[in-house]
Structures are given as structure tokens and as C-alpha cells.
Chains A and B, each alone.
Chain A
């Protein structure tokens, strides 16, 4: 395969692979959060803050791969 073709598709492959697992992680976190809130609606504000914090952590991983994809494409 030509190096040029690989160079063209690599940003796409990077972002696809790099955001698949974080997406799954965020989905699992959200599911558990909904379970917990459903079980105890009074604790919802506390759970909401933890949810936002942990989702930010998980999303950061996806952002790392996005940055690499952007670097590959534009630099």
C-alpha cells in the first residue's frame, strides 16, 4: 500500500479507534449513574457531580486521540 494512501486515511483510523473505547466507557458510566439515581433519587445532585467529573476524565482520553488525528491531518 502506498505511503500516501496510508497518510490520507490515518487521521480517520486514529479517531475511530481512539474514540470507540471512551464512548463505551462513557456509556457504562452513564448507565451506572442512572441506575444509582433511580435507586436513590435524593442523592441525585451528588451523583450528578461525580458523573460529570468522571465523564470528563473518560472524554479526555478521546480528546487525546482527537489531538493526534488533528496533528496528523494538519501538520
Chain B
């Protein structure tokens, strides 16, 4: 039966070697994605003026405004939102472009022949656990960096280590939850995108005529949602980490966490 011919590989396949460095097809695809983002933003950035520039610039500015508005909803503070914006916008753009690149025609279907057999030349970067673990590490470490930058090293360390035994226990649990955050970020994104890939391959093998269409639409939607979820979770964790718990205004922390779920209609 045709299903027996499916080549689904959990690990990314190598396309060539540069000495000791293995270049996989997902690395190639993420390079293409980064080039796309770079060209888009470079072209848009060339006509930034006080009075609105060309249509591309206006489009990029509009999208940035949407994301900035989202961040401001959570942080309740425009200056803080602008400090968080670069990291969050980068994460969102990178994850979105790479999710959707995995659906483009040619990705996964154009193959080359090398010492490992016939391998696809490109493969969605976020369908590779390496990429998603890297993104999760960036997210978790930058949360710590931002927290130290906003609060100072001592106040931030006091959240995890204190002399009160109960607070010490809670602090150690927070450390453990940081590690679980890393795992959950990476596996959520990887699982969604890789499972989507497998689904598309299986449907294409079973009924290639019209059946893949609704699944492609689903994967477009899932790609967008996963990029959004990754960004918003990073945002919420950033906000919680950079809030000063010991200040008299700590009652605002709870309201911030409630606001963390609001979006302008």
C-alpha cells in the first residue's frame, strides 16, 4: 500500500557537510526565512519618514503597531512595551515565517541525492526540535536578562532564594518551573508543526487531489496561532519576571496578570 512508502523522519536530514559542521535541511530553510524577513524589513525601512512612506513600510508599521498594542495591553506601560518589543517581534516574525515556509510548495518535495540517500532540500525549520529548543532557550534566558535589567540582580535573586524556608521552597519550585517552561515551549511548537507536517504527508499520500486543502488551511491557522502563543507566553513570563513583588504596589501584580489576558477588540 502507498502508506508504506512514506518517508517521515523525526530528525532533520543532513544535506551537506562543511568540515565538522552538519548543515541540515531545516537550517537551510531557516536561512531562507531569515533572508525573507531581512529583505522585507530592509525594503520597508528605507522609506520611513514622518509622513507615511510607501505601502510596504505602512504595512510593516501597521503590523508592528498591532504587536506593540498587544504588548502594551499586558505591560500597561508604553515605555516597558517598547523595551520588550524587539525580542517579542523577532520571536513572532521568525516563528511565523518559518511555520508558514514549511507549507510552501517545494519545501519537503524538492529532494537531492547525497550520501544518506534521497533527502528533501528544505524542511520547515520549526519542525526541527533543535530550532524550537533554541527558541525556548532564548526566551527563558532573555526573561532572566530582562528581569535583572529591570529589577537589578539582588532583587531578582531574592525571588528565588530567601532565608524564610517557605519562600525558599517556593523559590526553588520557581527554578524548576523555569526548566519546565523551556521544555514546554520547545515541545509545544515542535509538536504542533511536526505533527502538521506528518498529517499533510499522510493526507497527500492517501488522497492527493483535493483533500489536502482543508488541512493546509488548518496548518496555516495553526502556524499563526503557535507563533502568537509563543510570543504571548514569553510576554506574560517577561511581565511576571520584571514585576517587583516586594513593593507596596505588588497588589498590582495580580491585576497585571488579569490584564495579561486582554486584547483590544
- A interface residues, Cβ below 8 angstroms from B: 44-50, 52-53, 56, 59-60, 63-64, 66-67, 70-71, 74-75
Contact = CB atoms under 8 A, between A and B. Distances in A.
B263 A74 contact: no
24 contacts: A44-B265, A45-B262, A45-B263, A45-B265, A46-B261, A46-B262, A47-B261, A48-B263, A49-B232, A52-B228, A53-B229, A53-B233, A59-B192, A60-B187, A60-B191, A63-B191, A63-B192, A66-B191, A67-B187, A70-B195, A70-B198, A74-B9, A74-B10, A75-B10
B191 A67 contact: yes
Interface in B207-265: 225-226, 228-229, 232-233, 236, 261-265
Contacts of A53: 229, 232-233, 236, 261
Contacts of A63: 187-188, 191-192, 195
B255 to A, nearest CB: 13
B85 interface: no
B263 A49 contact: yes
Contacts of A45: 262-265
Contacts of B184: 60
B8 A49 contact: no
A59 B184 CA distance: 11
Interface size class of B (residues with CB under 8 A): 20 to 34
B188 A60 contact: yes
A74 B8 contact: yes
B194 interface: yes
Contacts of B265: 44-45
A43 to B, nearest CB: 9
A52 B10 contact: no
Q: Which of B191, B198, B233 has the most C-beta atoms of chain A within 10 angstroms of its own C-beta?
A: B191
Contacts of B92: none
Contacts of B187: 60, 63-64, 67
A64 B183 CA distance: 10
Nearest to B226: A56
Contacts of A64: 187, 191
Nearest to B265: A45
A1 to B, nearest CB: 24
Interface in B173-217: 184, 187-188, 190-192, 194-195, 198
Contacts of B8: 74
Given A52-B225, A74-B8, A74-B9, A66 B264 contact: no
